């Protein structure tokens, strides 16, 4: 079946650092969604992307829909402690039955 490769699996960051994570697939996607999950909570939608090449920001977060339609990345600038959590990408495969395919998540951890 279709798979999304999300990397890195985890990241140790220091406050103030910029962070970058991405998702890639061998399939072409119509939509890319980025979610953040805090421990014990439901995932929260951060950014939705609908067109190849689209670049969208939400505060310190910026996400892009790859031009090949097979990848997407999420950047967080000037990270703060509340950025800690798990970030998931999800995509709707083109010509599919509208199902979302989910990445395995990127865990952001603050360095002590």
Partner 1 sequence: DSGVTQTPKHLITATGQRVTLRCSPRSGDLSVYWYQQSLDQGLQFLIQYYNGEERAKGNILERFSAQQFPDLHSELNLSSLELGDSALYFCASSVGQGDEQYFGPGTRLTVT
Binding site for partner 1 (CB under 8 A): 30-31, 33, 35, 40-45, 48, 88, 90, 92, 97-100, 102-105
Least Cβ distance, residue 78 to partner 1 (angstroms): 26
Long-range contacts of 79-86 (CB under 8 A, 24+ apart): 79/13, 79/14, 79/15, 79/16, 79/17, 79/18, 79/19, 79/108, 80/15, 81/15, 81/110, 83/13, 83/19, 83/108, 84/108, 84/109, 84/110, 85/36, 85/37, 85/38, 85/39, 86/36, 86/37
**Residue nearer to partner 1 on the CB measure, 7 or 30:** 30
**Residue nearer to partner 1 on the CB measure, 33 or 61:** 33
**Residue nearer to partner 1 on the CB measure, 18 or 38:** 38
């Amino acid at each position: 079946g279709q798979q999304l490769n999300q990397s890195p699996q985890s990241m140790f960051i220091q406050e103030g650092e910029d962070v970058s994570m991405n998702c890639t697939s061998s399939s072409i996607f119509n939509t890319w969604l980025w979610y953040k999950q805090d421990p014990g909570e439901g995932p929260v939608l951060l950014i939705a992307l609908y067109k190849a090449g689209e670049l969208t920001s939400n505060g310190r977060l910026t996400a892009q829909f790859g031009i090949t339609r097979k990848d997407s990345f999420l950047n967080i600038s000037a990270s703060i402690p509340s950025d800690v959590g798990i970030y998931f990408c999800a995509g709707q495969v083109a010509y599919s039955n509208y199902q979302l395919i989910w990445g395995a998540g990127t865990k952001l951890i603050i360095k002590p």
